[in-house]
Structure 1
Amino acid sequence: MSACKKARAEATSVVSSDRLSSLPPELKGDILSRLNVEEAVKTSTLSSTWRDAWTNMPKIFLRDGNFARTKFVTLVDMVLSLHNGTVEMFDISGSKTYHDEFGRWMRMLSRIRPRSVTIRLNSGPGYRIPSCLFSIGDLRVLHLQNCVFSLPRVFQGFKRLTHLDLKNFSSTDIDIQNLVSFCPVLSYLKLASFEGINYLNVQAPKLKRLHVFGDFEDINLDAPNLEAAVLSLAHEAKAQQSVPIAHDKESHVKKSLGDLSVSIKMVHTYKVPCRISSPRAYLSCDMLLGPEASLGHLFAVSECPQLKEA
Structure 2
Amino acid sequence: MGGADRISALPEEIKISILSRLNVKYAIRTSALARSWRHLWTHLPCLRLGIGCDRDLLDYDNDSGDLRVTSDWIERVSNLISSLRGPLVVFKLSHLFRTRQSPLVQNLLHLLLQKGGVETLHLSSCFEKVHVHLPPFHSLKVLRLFGCHVLLPAGFRGFNSLTNLCLDHVEISNDHLHFLIHTSNNLTTFMALYFVTAQVPLSVNISSPLLRHLNFQIDDSVDKVSVISAPCLEQVEISTSNHTDSSSKKFAPVALGLLISISMVSSLNLYSPILKCLSLVTLPFNFTFPRLRSLTFCFFIDTMVKTMYDAFFRLLRSMPFVEELKLLCPYSNQNNCVEILKQELLEKKREGISCLNQTLEIVTINMKNVMIGVILGNFFLLNARVLKLMKFECSTWSVIKPSMIKELQKAEVTSSAAKVVIFCHKENVSINIK
Q: TM-score, normalised by structure 2?
A: 0.55
- Contact 1:276–1:282, Cα closer than 8 Å, also in 2: no
* Map 1:125-136 → 2, pairs under 5 A: 126-132=129-135, 135-136=136-137
Q: Partners in 2 of 1:275 and 1:82 — Cα distance?
A: 57
CA distance in 2, matches of 1:14, 1:56: 20
Q: Does 1:19 align with 2:9?
A: yes
Alpha-carbon offset, residue 17 of structure 1: 4.6
Matches within 5 A, 1:199-214: 199-213=203-217, 214=219
1:75 alignment partner in structure 2: 76
Post-superposition shift, 1:202? 0.9
Question: Which residue of 2 is the match for residue 192 of structure 1?
Answer: 193
Instruction: Give the SS at the match of 1:161.
Output: coil
SS of the counterpart of 1:217? strand
In structure 1, the partner of 2:429 is none
- How far the C-alpha of 1:290 sits from its partner, in A, is 5.5
Question: Which sections of structure 1, spanning at least 5 residues, go unmatched?
Answer: 1-9, 261-273
Deviation string for 1:282-310 (max 9, x for gaps)?
A: 44454546557342672665996874413
Identity of aligned residues (%): 22
Letter in 2 for 1:281: R
Equivalent in the alignment of 1:175: 176
1:60 paired residue among 38, 43, 47: 47
- CA deviation after TM superposition for structure 1 residue 72, in Å: 3.8
* 1:218 lines up with 2:224 in the alignment: yes
Aligned-partner Cα distance in 2 for 1:302–1:16: 63
* Deviation sequence 1:98-148 (CA, Å, 0-9, x none): 545212211111122311111123122x1111242xx00111100111101
Shift of 1:227: 1.7
Q: Secondary structure at the match of 2:257?
A: strand
- Higher relative CO (Cα under 8 Å, sequence separation at least 6) belongs to 1
Aligned to 2:235: 228
Q: Give, as a single letter, the amino acid of the residue that structure 1 aligns with 2:239.
A: S
Alignment of 1:75-94 (within 5 A): 75-94=76-95
State how far apart, in whole Å, the 1-side matches of 2:194 and 2:210 are. Answer: 24
Asked whether the equivalents of residues 159 and 184 of structure 2 are also in contact (C-alpha less than 8 Å), the reply is: yes
Is the alpha carbon distance of 1:258 and 1:34 closer, same or farther for their aligned partners in structure 2, counting shifts above 3 Å? closer
2:86 and 2:189 mapped to 1: Cα distance? 28
Q: Check 1:285–1:302 CA distance in 2 against 1; reply closer, same or farther (3 A cut).
A: closer
Q: Which residue number corresponds to residue 111 of structure 1?
A: 114
Shift of residue 211, structure 1, vs aligned partner: 1.1
Q: Tell me the residue number matched to 1:295.
A: 307
Larger proportion of helix: 2
Structure 2: which 5+ runs fail to align?
60-68, 265-273, 281-286, 323-354, 361-434
Matched, 1:50 2:54: no
Q: Distance in 2 between matches of 1:131 and 1:153?
A: 10
For 1:44 and 1:289, how far apart are their aligned partners in 2? 56
CA distance in 2 between counterparts of 1:285 and 1:14 reads: 56
Mapped to 1, the partners of 2:317 and 2:257 lie a distance apart of 13
> How far is the alpha carbon of 1:74 from its aligned partner?
4.2
- Is the CA contact 2:188–2:213 (under 8 Å) kept in the aligned structure 1? yes
5 Å matches for 1:254-273? 257=277
Aligned residue pair count: 277
The 8 Å contact of residues 102 and 132 in structure 2, kept in 1 or not, is answered as no
State the alpha-carbon separation in 1 of the partners of residues 299 and 109 from structure 2.
40
RMSD, matched Cα: 3.4
Q: Say if 1:275 and 1:80 are closer, same or farther in 2 by CA, change over 3 A.
A: farther
Q: 2-side partners of 1:189 and 1:84: how far apart?
A: 32
Asked whether the 8 Å contact 1:283–1:307 carries over to 2, the reply is no
CA distance in 1, matches of 2:150, 2:97: 20
> TM-score by structure 1 length?
0.75
Question: What's the offset of the Cα at 1:56?
Answer: 0.6
Q: Distance in 2 between matches of 1:193 and 1:159?
A: 25
Residue pair 1:158, 1:183 contacting (<8 A) in 2 also: yes
For residues 121 and 35 of structure 2, the distance between their equivalents in structure 1, rounded to whole angstroms, comes to: 31
AA of the residue aligned to 1:138: S
